[in-house]
Chains A and B, each alone.
Chain A
Amino acid sequence: MPRGLKSGPLAFVWTTTFRLALVYAVLFALFSAGMLAYFYTATVGAMRSETIVRLESELQTLAVAWNSGGPERLEQSLLERAFVRVRDFTYQFETGAGDIIIGDLPRMPVDTSTVLAEPQSVTFEIERARPGGDPNISTIEGRILRLGDGSILLVGIKMDERIMLVSRVTRAVATAAPIGIILALIGGYFSSRYAARRAEGLSRIAEAVMGGDLSQRADIGETGDEFDRLSERLNAMLTRLERLMASTRHAGEAIAHDLRSPLSRLRNRLEATMSLPLDKETAEDTLEQTIVEIDQLLATFNAILRLSRVNEASTAKFSMVNLSELAEEMAELFEPACEDSELSFSAQISPDIGICGDRALLAQAVSNILDNSIKYTPPGGEIALELSRGSDGLSIMVRDSGPGISVDDRDRVKQRFVRLDEARTQPGSGLGLALVDAVAELHHGKLVLGSSVQDDPGSGLLVTLKLP
Chain B
Amino acid sequence: MHILVIEDDREHSEFIENVLTGAGHSVESVGQGDEGLLRARSKDFDALIVDRMLPEKSGLRMVQEFRSGGGVTPALFLSALSEVDHRVEGLEAGGDDYLAKPFAPAELIARVEALGRRHSQNETPVTILKVGDLEMDLLARKVVREDTIIDLQPREFKLLEFLMRHAGQTVTRTMLLEKVWNYHFDPQTNVIDVHISRLRSKIDKEFDRQLLQTVRGAGYCLEG
Binding site for B on A (CB under 8 A): 288, 291-292, 295, 298-299, 301-303, 305-306, 309, 313, 317, 329, 332-334, 336-337, 339-340, 358-361, 363-364, 367-368, 371, 374-375, 428, 432
Contact = CB atoms under 8 A, between A and B. Distances in A.
The majority secondary structure among interface residues of chain A is helix
Given A371-B189, A374-B189, A336 B194 contact: yes
Nearest to B196: A336
Given A329-B181, A336-B198, A428 B191 contact: no
B155 interface: yes
A359 B182 CA distance: 10
Contact of A360 (B183, B189, B195): B183
B186 A303 contact: yes
A306 B83 CA distance: 8
Contact of B187 (A292, A340, A367): A367
A313 B83 contact: yes
A207 to B, nearest CB: 35
B191 A333 contact: yes
Interface in B184-214: 184-191, 194-195, 197-198
A368 B188 contact: yes
Contact of B84 (A295, A360, A367): A360
Interface of B: 82-85, 102, 104, 155, 181, 183-191, 194-195, 197-198, 216-217
Contact of B189 (A332, A358, A375): A375
Nearest to B154: A332
Given A301-B102, A336-B198, A358-B84, A363 B191 contact: no
B185 A363 contact: yes
Contacts of B102: 298, 301-302
A247 B195 CA distance: 38
Nearest to B194: A336
Contact of A334 (B191, B197, B217): B191
B194 A337 contact: yes
A360 B185 contact: yes
Given A309-B83, A317-B85, A367 B184 contact: no
Given A288-B217, A306-B82, A360-B84, A337 B190 contact: yes
Contacts of B216: 288
A361 B183 CA distance: 10
A435 B188 CA distance: 12
A367 B190 CA distance: 11
Contacts of B190: 337, 340
Contacts of B186: 299, 302-303, 306, 364
A42 to B, nearest CB: 74
A334 B181 CA distance: 12
Contacts of B217: 288, 291-292, 295
A375 B187 CA distance: 12
Contacts of A333: 181, 183, 187, 191, 195
Nearest to A366: B185
Nearest to B183: A363
Nearest to A362: B185
Nearest to B189: A371
Given A292-B217, A332-B155, 6 more contacts: A288-B216, A298-B102, A333-B181, A358-B84, A361-B185, A367-B188
Contacts of A317: 85
A432 B183 CA distance: 17
